[in-house]
Structure 1
Amino acid sequence: MSKIVEVGSLKTGSWITIDGEPCQIVEIAHSKPGKHGSAKARIVAIGLFDGVKRTIVSPTSDKIEVPIIEKRTGQVIAMLPSSIQLM
């Protein structure tokens, strides 16, 4: 599940999808528009599952996919070699 938002509306701490991987933004820098180009945003994000640092540069008017992340608390019942049981 995801939604589409403009790059210019993103902030540090937001979540985005880069290369199909959900990532949390740790740094975002906006550059002003120049004589022949639009404003751009440089985004540095860390992957949720693999912890890999990813960087993208995109015009602020572009659209980007934002995952809908649902956080819940639970209790670990058992840790098996191939799975984990939660309650």
Structure 2
Amino acid sequence: MSTKVVEIKTLKVGKYIVLGGEACKIISYTTSSPGKHGAAKARIEAVGVFDNQKRSLVKPVDNKVDIPIIDKRLGQVISIQGDNVQIMDMENYDTIDLPMPEDLKDEITEGREVEYIVAMGNMKIMRTRGS
């Protein structure tokens, strides 16, 4: 797996974290002040990038967690077959079959450029580029 280890106190809303073996985007981050007998705690709510499941984590802010290394790439749509999109990577010209995202069905057409991410062995189309 391609991950890095960081302290919880360095995380922010909008960044990524690995929870339950899945890459997740942080949607909420709160901390409580240290008490008489303990350290400050962080409460993190995150949504899975690939499965859209909500996950949470409560740990001391000094603990370390994994964050995924996310590779953002650019590709061009070659063809659309039902719910699958065939994309050619613009850097190395590899062809990849990815599922069609529900929210981008109207925007993805053949010949259009799309941005997709690669993280922890999974790939997903994130947005379209251009007009």
TM-score normalised by L of structure 2: 0.62
- RMSD, matched Cα: 1.5
Residue segments in structure 1 that go unaligned for 5+ positions in a row: none
Number of aligned pairs? 87
Listed one character per residue, the Cα deviations across residues 56-81 of structure 1 (whole Å, up to 9, x for unaligned) are 10110000000000111211212346
- The residue that corresponds to 1:73 in the other structure is 74
CA distance in 2 between counterparts of 1:32 and 1:82 reads: 48
Residue segments in structure 2 that go unaligned for 5+ positions in a row: 89-131
CA distance in 2 between counterparts of 1:73 and 1:16 reads: 23
Q: Which has the larger radius of gyration?
A: 2
Listed one character per residue, the Cα deviations across residues 22-63 of structure 1 (whole Å, up to 9, x for unaligned) are 000000001110001110000000000010111110110000
**Greater relative contact order structure (CA < 8 Å, 6+ sep):** 1
- The residue that corresponds to 2:61 in the other structure is 60
Identity %: 48
